Amino acid sequence: MLRRMFRRNREMMTGYMFVLPWILGFLLFMAYPIYFSLNMSFNKVIISSNGIKKDFIRWNNFKYAFLSDPKYVEELLMFIKSVVFMIPIVIVFSLLVALLINQPIRFKGFFRAIFFLPVVITSGQVVKELFAQGAASVPIVERYGIIDYLQNNLDPSWSEPIISIIQQLIVILWYSGVQILIFLAGLQKVNSQIYEAASIDGASPWEIFWKITLPSIKPFILVNIIYTVVDLFTNSLNNVIDLIKVNMFQIDTGFGYATALAWIYFMVIFTILLVVVLVFGRNDDYNPRKAGR
């Protein structure tokens, strides 16, 4: 009895020891700054050479953002719309590629490398340079008049979303690298004996996909959706973040207002993720609270 307690204590101690460096870093460079910014969002902040001057103004920053800011709400709504559109595309696309790569074909490693390659470019300075130079559009599509064709032959309510997807296609594909990898990891964990058993019992590949493959990679779908949402929302190329940065150094609005905008943005991401987890993580296998216990 005593020994067991001792052992449990020791496991707790090692547990804390393993997490300690991370906790320290987290508290210093994440938790405190986030708390600080929450505090600032209720203030009018003026930063001058003799320090930071705070002026408590309650919810005024938030009120201003929703009621008076000419751009913020509009940009935010536009961004949410495009993200809601892009998430399923990224997920379906990366699942498709992962399934293709998982087929019995040659040069598997080569294809895996190519589809993961964009992860190396879609961050930092390089991608900004690429966008500035116009590498993100698809020249072939425009040259062969595919867009004109769609515009002439389809109802505008259909052609417009399709065209915007085509124009963003490369960007969407670029954001699938890590997701493809996660799906591949999931697919390779499925026991192939189950596939064999199913096909002996007469299941078609289609049925196998829906009844075996999809349920067994369900936890990975949730992970991927979370990763995609976070990736799309926090990458440096989006207009909302630009707006936050611009406001940060403007004299009349200032840091306080910028943090208020950041907090509204954060709440939006949070809500979206909450919905995702409620929809996809609700039943059976996967529950982030229980996972790993």
Partner 1 sequence: MSSFQGSKINPATFNRSQIKFYLFLIALAVFMIMPIVFMFSQSLKPINELFLYPPRFFVDNPSLKNFYDLINVTSVTVIPMTRFLFNSIVVTGAVVFLSIVISAMAGFALSKLKFKSKGVIFEANIIALMFVPASVAIPRYLIVDGLGLTDNMLGHIIPLLAMPVGLFLIKQFVDQIPNDLIEAAAMDGAGNFTVFRKVIIPVIMPALATVAILAFQTAWNNTETSEIYMNTETLRTFAFYMTTLTGNLENKVAGQGIAAAAALIMFVPNLIIFVIMQSRVLDTMAHSGLK
Where in 1-40 is the site for partner 1 (CB under 8 A)? 8, 11-12, 14-16, 18-19, 21-23, 25-26, 28-34, 36-37, 40
Asked if 198 contacts 212 with a C-beta cutoff of 8 angstroms, the reply is yes
Which residue number, 188 or 204, has a Cβ lying nearer to partner 1? 188
Q: In whole angstroms, how close is the CB of 57 to partner 1 at the nearest point?
A: 18
Per-residue tokens: 204: 């078609």
Which residue number, 47 or 165, has a Cβ lying nearer to partner 1? 47
Q: In whole angstroms, how close is the CB of 155 to partner 1 at the nearest point?
A: 27
Which residue number, 77 or 114, has a Cβ lying nearer to partner 1? 114
Q: In whole angstroms, how close is the CB of 205 to partner 1 at the nearest point?
A: 12
Using CB under 8 A as the binding criterion, the count of chain residues that bind partner 1 stands at 100
For partner 1, the binding residues in 200-239 under the rule CB under 8 A are: 223, 226-227, 230, 233-234
Contacts of 264 (CB under 8 A, 6+ apart): 62, 65, 72, 76
SS3 of residue 78 by DSSP: helix
Q: In whole angstroms, how close is the CB of 224 to partner 1 at the nearest point?
A: 10
For partner 1, the binding residues in 247-286 under the rule CB under 8 A are: 248, 255, 258-259, 261-263, 265-266, 269-270, 273
Strand-pairing partners, residue 46, are 53
The CA-atom distances, in angstroms, between 28 and each of 34, 38, 248, 255 are: 10, 15, 22, 20
Which residue number, 56 or 158, has a Cβ lying nearer to partner 1? 56
Q: In whole angstroms, how close is the CB of 227 to partner 1 at the nearest point?
A: 8
The yes or no reply on residue 97 touching partner 1 (CB under 8 A) is: yes
Asked if 113 contacts 174 with a C-beta cutoff of 8 angstroms, the reply is no
Q: In whole angstroms, how close is the CB of 158 to partner 1 at the nearest point?
A: 23
What angle in degrees, to the nearest 10, is found between the helix axes of 254-280 and 239-248? 150
Asked if 224 contacts 65 with a C-beta cutoff of 8 angstroms, the reply is no
For partner 1, the binding residues in 119-178 under the rule CB under 8 A are: 119-121, 123-126, 129-130, 133-136, 138-139, 169-170, 173-174, 178
The CA-atom distances, in angstroms, between 260 and each of 44, 59, 223, 229, 284 are: 10, 9, 29, 21, 38
Contacts of 184 (CB under 8 A, 6+ apart): 98, 101, 102, 112
Which residue number, 103 or 283, has a Cβ lying nearer to partner 1? 103
Q: In whole angstroms, how close is the CB of 182 to partner 1 at the nearest point?
A: 8
User: Where do runs of H (alpha helix) occur along the chain?
Assistant: 2-26, 32-40, 60-67, 72-101, 108-116, 118-121, 124-132, 139-143, 146-153, 156-174, 177-189, 192-200, 205-208, 214-216, 218-234, 239-248, 254-280
Which residue number, 23 or 84, has a Cβ lying nearer to partner 1? 23
According to CB under 8 A, which one of 92, 158, 191, 207 is a site residue for partner 1? 191
For partner 1, the binding residues in 49-88 under the rule CB under 8 A are: none
Stretch of 57-65, 103-111, 156-164, 207-215 lying at the interface with partner 1 (CB under 8 A): 103-111
Which residue number, 36 or 209, has a Cβ lying nearer to partner 1? 36
